[in-house]
Structures are given as C-alpha cells and as structure tokens.
Structure 1
C-alpha cells in the first residue's frame, strides 16, 4: 500500500481479559527434547486489558494496560496515541 506523503500509519489492537498469573516456582527444563515444566498451582491476580498501537514504518509499539475494558478506556488510549504521534508540521521539518 502507498500511504500519502507525511502520514503515519498505525495498527491498533486490543486484547481483553489477560490473566495475571504468578506460578509458585519458575519453569524448569526437563531435558533435551522436552518442553519446560510448569507447576500446577498459581496465584491469580485478576485480569487486565492491553491496548497497543504499532507504528508500521518505524516498528515501534505504544501500549497501555488498563483494569477495565470499556469505551472510555479505549478513548483514553487513543488520546495517548494522538499525543505521542508527531504532528504534520513536525514531519515536514
């Protein structure tokens, strides 16, 4: 695709209900050819929501985790992205 000159192309996505788990011990390797073993017990610390924006040209990511997943949080994230992206006058310099 050919975006117009002096534009910023973003890819924005969201992932809700990410579980914040803490295992009782770190993963342990079993041996060559076997995957790592995890303990069966963990402490659950609730869920979080991840909002992320990828600047396609630069490959940089702006991400935020928020406690809730409502339109207000998404609008706050979009405002943060707008504040972080350079303005058109900065791109022309």
Structure 2
C-alpha cells in the first residue's frame, strides 16, 4: 500500500500491476473492518459538514 501512496509509476501498466499485487496480498489475509465511531457521532459530523457547506455556498 505504501508504494501506491508514495510511489511513482512510469506507466499506467506499472500502476495497475502494483495495485493488483496490493489487492492480492490483502485478499490473502483479509481483516474485518471495525467501526471506531458510533453511528450517532458519524451522523453529527455529516450534519456539521452539510451546514458548513450550505453556509459557504450562500455567502
């Protein structure tokens, strides 16, 4: 994953090969995603973001 984030690629084919390698490695030993925030906390953040967006577009 670090190579995809920080790497430079000489071609699209090289990027695709790196992505495929990363997916293959991840799928060999997958880990379950665990939510760290409650649904309520996430929805509160979405509400704040929408309010900020609405305020920025009306100003």
Could you say which TM-score interval applies, normalised by the shorter chain? 0.3 to 0.5
Instruction: Specify which structure has the higher proportion of strand.
Output: 1
What TM-score comes out, normalization by structure 1 length? 0.26
Instruction: Specify which structure has the higher proportion of helix.
Output: 2
What TM-score comes out, normalization by structure 2 length? 0.33
